[in-house]
Structure 1
Amino acid sequence: MQSEGPRVLLVEPFYGGSHKQLIDLLQQNISGCSVFTLPAKKWHWRARTAALHFSQTLPICPSHRVLFSSSVLNLCELVALRPDLAHLKKVLYFHENQLVYPVRKDQERDFQYGYNQVLSCLVSDVVVFNSIFNMDSFLSSISSFMKKIPDHRPKDLDQLIRPKPRVEYKVVSRPEEKLDEAPIGSGEFPSSGNHQEDLHESRTDQRPVSREDPGDQMKPLHIVWPHRWEHDKNPEQFFSTLMKLKEKEVNFNLSVLGETFSEVPGIFSEARLRLDPHILNWGFLSRGAYLQVLLQADVVVSTARHEFFGVAMLEAVHCGCYPLCPKALVYPEIFPAEYLYSTPEQLFKQLQRLCRRPDIVRRHVVKVDTSSYSWTSLKAHYEALLSAGCP
């Protein structure tokens, strides 16, 4: 006879972006879940202190069988503070990893965040990564990361952790699904700053062109950039490419979406002025308006220096956009070679070609099976992950 009460504790110290989307998805679709969260603010402090908070707020419940949390939580501290949780099946989910998360200078990297993630892996039963790239980059960096310790370094930590990892891709929402209003972007927590409460305005004086209208086949190519406004997304390269297109008198329309934080790279204000005649949408949009732009855009571009999965790119592809991504990071794992570029010059030439022949994009069917990232395809994987059976 099954125990009464919730079986699964879903614990999320940074309840925003793709972290929130995953927790909400699991709660809505898997029975027996009980959710405990903290707002998606000040992630540095969430990583440092969330375990102490949850040690005081998680209920003692004999029916609990599984503890699921993102790697923002120091799971090692939580289990030490709450010994009653030690017997649960502990599942740690990596949206990102702090061993290779980009910082402006390596001297700025706080050792503690990556160290906490290594400790959490050691006490977890299952370690889940959202891509092979995320998993491999973490496991291969443990040894070199630990060399930062001046002496008495621990040994073979990667070998202790390697039996535990598995890859479970993120669920990518379909545009027809009704989702909560949420920040748009890659979903990982920001590398700096606090979320701005003020949302940027959207340009509504022009409307994007629908690809479904055969009479509009030769309207300007509509390029969309749907990422967080931070340096790790490399907006400098993106805007430099578009300014070069403008100098060559190549016509295009532009939507720059995404959420902002307290430190917005200066290139955005410069680009807003220089590219103004081309801009259709600029800044944060509601979920529905965001998906409408994706449905009406032609090409989605990433210039990221870091990407562990790339929800925004896959959402855009699902909406019919032609992707252009760096031949690096997670992208070769998901996108065929024809959508990858190796250098800024290759990106420029690709966009120049497509701007001059937008009909090529509008006839093209992108060779990415987005259905493999749907809840229908991944449901059984997550159900098994949250079952109380053996890892």
Structure 2
Amino acid sequence: MPRRFLFLEPHFSGSHKAFAQGLKAHSRHDIELITLPGVHWKWRMRGAALHYAGALPDLSGVDGILVSNMVDLARLKGLVPNLPPALVYMHESQLTYPQPKGQALDVGLVMQEVTTAFAADRVVFNSCHHRDLFLENLTPFFNRFPDYRPTGLETVISGKSMVIHPGCSLPAVMPDTEAKQLDPPLVVWNHRWSYDKNFPATLHALRVLADKGIPFNVALLGETAGGKAEAPFHEARKVLGKRVVHFGYCESAEAYRAWLARGAIVVSSAIQENFGISVVEAMAHGCLPLLPKRLAYPEILPEAFHDAHLYTSRRDCIVKLEGLLGTCREKAGSAVELARLMNAHDWKNLIPTYDAALSALAR
């Protein structure tokens, strides 16, 4: 039986927005989105509960509440005592985010996320990697306390947690490998232009291969963040010159997908990745991946592809990228097989698991 849920998302942009809209569009349940614009993220985390406490509709007939990890659920429960059962979806975590050099961990935001997970009736992580990393870091974080350190939270949170990969909107047909027979092959970077995606490491590999005269072009896609984070991309435009055939965020989904459809290889050098929607999207469009052997990547890449498509060092990245550039045309069959396997991440295949979790929450 369909149930009624409210989904509170105070940072309605990027992957948060795509996830909320995808869940609403595909679920058999009635899900009402109550959102705030995706700006001022720290203020959203600190203030969203107070906003929602005064903005929620009549809760009679509401079977459950969904919140992203940016909502202070413990505070919201205190402000709205009759709140229905609540599920928190952990997109990311301040507890496990690698801090830039010279920047201190925001203990207040970490405590807020921990108490949110503790206060939730159900906690859903977007990957096993994310769940395990979060739970493993709780005790080291609490060891910072001078005394009265909380204990047992790993057990409590683990006991009400589950992992459901985020749904993705993927192409309904297999990629056209003929459209990818570009000369030279196209390398795609389609991640957020931010510190944690570590583009300088990818740029290093591209520069080495360019200096060796290896033929390739590059499409620099992804959402731009502004400020210092964009400097390495402008450097890439200078040092790679005409090899950079696209630079910047695609304003339409159609334009973005068209570049993925032309791409031969998708590269990542991230130091933080809890799932990897951009890589799944690229593989679903027929791009062969080259990814670090860490984070969530070994989880989303089928094991049969690990040896050829996961790297362990800068040197290994360069060697494997050169190899892929030389053989990507011959590996069209592998690209099609990977695209087929990525179909498991499409919303239509994941939504039954989400709907079952929501039905269980309502009960």
Partner of 2:97: 101
- Matched residues in 2 for 1:40 and 1:267: separation? 25
Partner of 2:128: 132
- Matched residues in 2 for 1:308 and 1:291: separation? 22
Match status 1:380 vs 2:355? no
What's the secondary structure of 1:364's corresponding residue? helix
- Matched residues in 1 for 2:186 and 2:237: separation? 16
**Greater CA drift, 329-338 or 285-294:** 329-338
Give, in angstroms, the shift of residue 33 of structure 1: 1.7
**Greater CA drift, 363-372 or 138-147:** 363-372
Partner of 2:185: 221
Question: Structure 1 residues 376, 217: closer, same or farther in 2, change over 3 A?
Answer: closer
- Matched residues in 1 for 2:314 and 2:356: separation? 42
Superposed CA offset, 1:321-350 (max 9, x none): 000110000011121313100011111111
Partner of 1:185: none
- Matched residues in 1 for 2:102 and 2:296: separation? 22
Give, in angstroms, the shift of residue 364 of structure 1: 3.0
The answer (yes or no) to whether the contact 2:64–2:362 under 8 Å persists in 1 is no
Q: Which amino acid aligns with 2:8?
A: V
Q: Which amino acid aligns with 2:300?
A: I
Partner of 1:313: 279
The answer (yes or no) to whether the contact 1:302–1:325 under 8 Å persists in 2 is yes
Give, in angstroms, the shift of residue 106 of structure 1: 7.1
- Aligned pair count reads 352
Partner of 1:255: 219
Give, in angstroms, the shift of residue 176 of structure 1: 5.2
The answer (yes or no) to whether the contact 1:220–1:358 under 8 Å persists in 2 is no
Long gaps (5+) in structure 2? none
- Matched residues in 1 for 2:207 and 2:360: separation? 54
The answer (yes or no) to whether the contact 1:294–1:316 under 8 Å persists in 2 is yes
Match status 1:21 vs 2:18? yes
Aligned-residue CA RMSD (Å): 2.0
| Greater share of helix | 2
The answer (yes or no) to whether the contact 2:167–2:347 under 8 Å persists in 1 is yes
What's the secondary structure of 1:61's corresponding residue? coil
Q: Which amino acid aligns with 1:307?
A: E
Partner of 1:52: 50
What's the secondary structure of 2:330's corresponding residue? helix
1:275 aligned to which of 240, 254, 273: 240
Give, in angstroms, the shift of residue 108 of structure 1: 1.5
Give, in angstroms, the shift of residue 288 of structure 1: 0.7
- Matched residues in 1 for 2:167 and 2:353: separation? 11
2:33 aligned to which of 21, 35, 47: 35
Give, in angstroms, the shift of residue 168 of structure 1: 0.5
Match status 1:362 vs 2:332? yes
What's the secondary structure of 1:37's corresponding residue? strand
1:151 aligned to which of 147, 166, 169: 147
TM-score by length of 1: 0.85
Question: Structure 1 residues 218, 38: closer, same or farther in 2, change over 3 A?
Answer: closer
Segments of 4+ moved more than 6 angstroms: none
Long gaps (5+) in structure 1? 178-209
TM-score by length of 2: 0.92
Partner of 2:108: 112
Give, in angstroms, the shift of residue 75 of structure 1: 0.3
In the TM superposition, 1:180-259 aligns within 5 A as 211-212=177-178, 217=181, 219-259=183-223
